Amino acid sequence: MGTEELKKTPLYGNHLKYGGRIIDFAGWALPVQFRSIIEEHHQVRRAAGLFDVSDMGELDIRGPQALELLQYALTNDMSTMAVNQVRYSPMCDQRGGVVDDLLVYRLGENRYFVVINAGNIEKDYSWVKELAGRFPGANVDNVSAQVAELALQGPNSEAILGRLTRTDLSAIRYYWCLQDVDVAGVKCMVSRTGYTGEDGFEIFCSPEEAPGLWDTLLEEGDEQGLWPCGLGCRDTLRFEATMPLYGQEMDDDTTPLEAGLGKYVKFDKGDFVGREPLLEEKRTGLRKKLAGLEMVGRGIARTGYPVLKDGGKVGYVTTGSYSPTLDRNLALAFVPPGLAEVGTEVQVEIRGRGVDARVVRTPFYRRREK
């Protein structure tokens, strides 16, 4: 496999050293697995896993109108965030389609840090820059190349990271962050966030420091079962936790309401891009709705497979997989709202045959709170 032409994160050398199987991941050379997707998946649920997510993009938005810009660009309400708080939001276009879904970190009075999907960096940056034209007091910079990001996920994450810092990590609550945390001598921003359904942290540092930090974390975390993990299990973990993936559960032709993200759309916060079409859709009803499916018959639903009712195509699968934790074949699919009720029987077309499936409750997996 030629990886010469692919973009590489600062941790590429580490992945080779740890035996990662490198694949083309939306133009990035990243490890899909180190040992096995299923073993790594279980390890994250049971102990801890370390992921390289440095391909993610980051925008720095600051200035007296930074908040105004975010309020206009995003569907969620950012006005009630405290400094060091983190908030998830879809970002829509004028039609209400999703441009991206992202995390906003409030780092100061007029300073925000926005984490965006790797495949959308250029698109998002030019979109936000365009919107910023209306807000001369907001400055937008694409700082993606200046930031590395590691995700430490799993129940042992706090204990592992705690060995490397004097900062009291228990003080960082879910969806909050701390800046200027010294982790093994490296200055980091640490947030209690993640994409696996487990407790964990996302750690941001300079690209130069990332390789050393990766090694230190794995050495220190070894006793508590910390493994390097690939993007294969990242996908199965987020899927079980029913966290949406841009490009699968949502895209430019899907609204956040359809993708089940209605609680992140705040119609009462004032004007924002996409507000009118989304309100209209709320009034007139959804065109399609994301539903969780469990395969009843033998087969694994995959992205793009048709969903059938009474022999006719009524929808399509956005993500489907074997679920290692639940040991069942599950899927997320867009169906007409009338077929999204739990218990509804449908079929998924697999290699020309309709295979029985049933709408089930989501999230598929929820961790037990401590």
Footprint on this chain of other proteins (rule: CB under 8 A)? 32-33, 36-39, 232, 236, 298-300, 302, 321-322, 324, 329, 351
Min CB(36)–other proteins separation in Å: 5
Amino acid present at 368: R
Residue located via tokens 């994450």: 157
Complex with other proteins: residue 45 or 288, whichever CB lies closer: 45
Complex with other proteins: residue 128 or 355, whichever CB lies closer: 355
Complex with other proteins: residue 28 or 72, whichever CB lies closer: 28
Complex with other proteins: residue 260 or 299, whichever CB lies closer: 299
Min CB(30)–other proteins separation in Å: 13
Min CB(298)–other proteins separation in Å: 7
- Residue 115 contacts residue 56 (beta carbons within 8 Å): yes
SS3 assignment for 257-306? CCCCCHHHCCHHHCCCCCHHHHHHHHHHCCCCEEEEEEECCCCCCCCCCE
Complex with other proteins: residue 156 or 242, whichever CB lies closer: 242
- Residue 31 contacts residue 230 (beta carbons within 8 Å): yes
Complex with other proteins: residue 36 or 206, whichever CB lies closer: 36
**For residue 290, what are its two tokens?**
């994301």
Residues near 189 by beta carbon (within 8 Å), at least 6 away in sequence: 105, 107, 113, 177, 178, 179, 180, 181, 203, 204, 205
Write out the DSSP string of 128-185: HHHHHTT-TT-EEEE-GGG-EEEEEESTTHHHHHHTT-SS-GGGS-TTBEEEEEEETT
Min CB(169)–other proteins separation in Å: 32
Min CB(340)–other proteins separation in Å: 26
CA distance 240 to 319: 10
Complex with other proteins: residue 63 or 232, whichever CB lies closer: 232
Nearest to 341 by CA among 312, 361, 311: 361
Beta strands in the chain (DSSP E): 7-8, 21-25, 28-33, 48-52, 57-62, 86-92, 98-108, 111-116, 139-142, 148-153, 177-183, 186-191, 200-205, 226-228, 289-295, 306-309, 312-323, 328-335, 345-350, 353-360
**For residue 256, what are its two tokens?**
């956040």
Complex with other proteins: residue 168 or 327, whichever CB lies closer: 327
CA distance 284 to 262: 15
Min CB(23)–other proteins separation in Å: 9
Min CB(233)–other proteins separation in Å: 8
Complex with other proteins: residue 159 or 296, whichever CB lies closer: 296
Using CB atoms within 10 Å of the CB of residue 207, give its burial: 0 to 12 exposed, 13 to 18 middle, 19+ buried.
middle
Min CB(20)–other proteins separation in Å: 13
- Residue 307 contacts residue 316 (beta carbons within 8 Å): yes
Min CB(41)–other proteins separation in Å: 8
